[in-house]
Amino acid sequence: MTAPAAATTAATTTTATFRQTCAVRCTIAAPVERVWKLLTDARRFPTWNSTVTSLDGDIAIGQRLAITVPVAPNRTFRPRVVKLVANDTMEVQAASMRKARDLRDAQSRTAAETQRGVIEAAKVTVAARAGTNGRLFGSVTEADIVNALRTATNISLDRHAIHMDEHLKEVGTATVSAHLFEGVTATITVEVVAK
């Protein structure tokens, strides 16, 4: 894991007889739970910490670790985990971030539900070249529906939000769905007309 350019980092080392304590402080633009999970995953530790070649064991209170480092590759250090604390600042920040995310999600859900009402009330028409039997020369795709929806409602969706069992190949009315937000799906009634 690499810290963003705006991250601030500070490291301290305290040495006493037969004891050395190292602490690193870094502000990272990522969910606290994700950072904590990475920090306590012994197997992946060397992927983000270049001062450790390997780390075996569980990073948990009372557990003994086996650590090898690049500066002493033939030596294995076996410290015991005596303290493992997500500091109070980290917990407060996590709660604040969760609250902000929940608020954004609530606002996004409300917006998606409003969009669903507009989309489901709209008349979405796609004009396509067709033969006299009503079969299209080609088909109506997700991109065609997104463009027609934008014209009808001024709502822009990504074509990947549109779900169709198969592309539309005939003149007539069909329904497709659009995923707007987690748990919010709109049903779009599409009228395919010959041009």
Residues 153, 147 contacting (CB under 8 angstroms) = no
Confidence of residue 5 (pLDDT cuts 50, 70, 90): very low
Percent of the chain residues topping a pLDDT of 90: 51
Is residue 109 assigned to a domain?
no
Q: Please give the mean pLDDT across all residues of the chain.
A: 86
Q: Please report the pLDDT score of residue 76 as a whole number.
A: 94
Query: How many Cα atoms within 13 Å fall on the side-chain side of residue 182?
Result: 5
Q: Please report the pLDDT score of residue 7 as a whole number.
A: 56
* 59, 126: one domain: no
Q: Who wins on pLDDT, 106 or 24?
A: 106
Give the pairing of strands 66-69 and 72-77: antiparallel
DSSP string, 58-110: --STT-B-EEEETTEEEEEE--B-------HHHHHHHHHHHHHHHHHHHHHHH
Residue 157 has pLDDT above 80, yes or no: yes
- Mark 36-59 as b/e (b = at least 16 C-beta within 10 Å): eeebeebeebbeeeeebbebebee
Domain residues for the domain of 124 are 119-194
List residues bridging with 73 in a β-sheet: none
Q: How many distinct structural domains can be found in the chain?
A: 2
* 124, 82: one domain: no
Q: Who wins on pLDDT, 17 or 116?
A: 116
The domain that contains 185 carries what CATH number? Answer: 3.10.430.100
* Residue count of the chain: 195
Is residue 140 assigned to a domain?
yes
Is residue 176 assigned to a domain?
yes
Identify the CA nearest to 93 among candidates 45, 53, 36, 39. 36
* 76, 132: one domain: no
Residues 69, 51 contacting (CB under 8 angstroms) = yes
Residue 167 has pLDDT above 80, yes or no: yes
List residues bridging with 128 in a β-sheet: 194
Confidence of residue 89 (pLDDT cuts 50, 70, 90): low
Q: Please report the pLDDT score of residue 50 as a whole number.
A: 86
Domain boundary among 89, 104, 128: 89
Q: Please report the pLDDT score of residue 2 as a whole number.
A: 47
DSSP state of 153: H
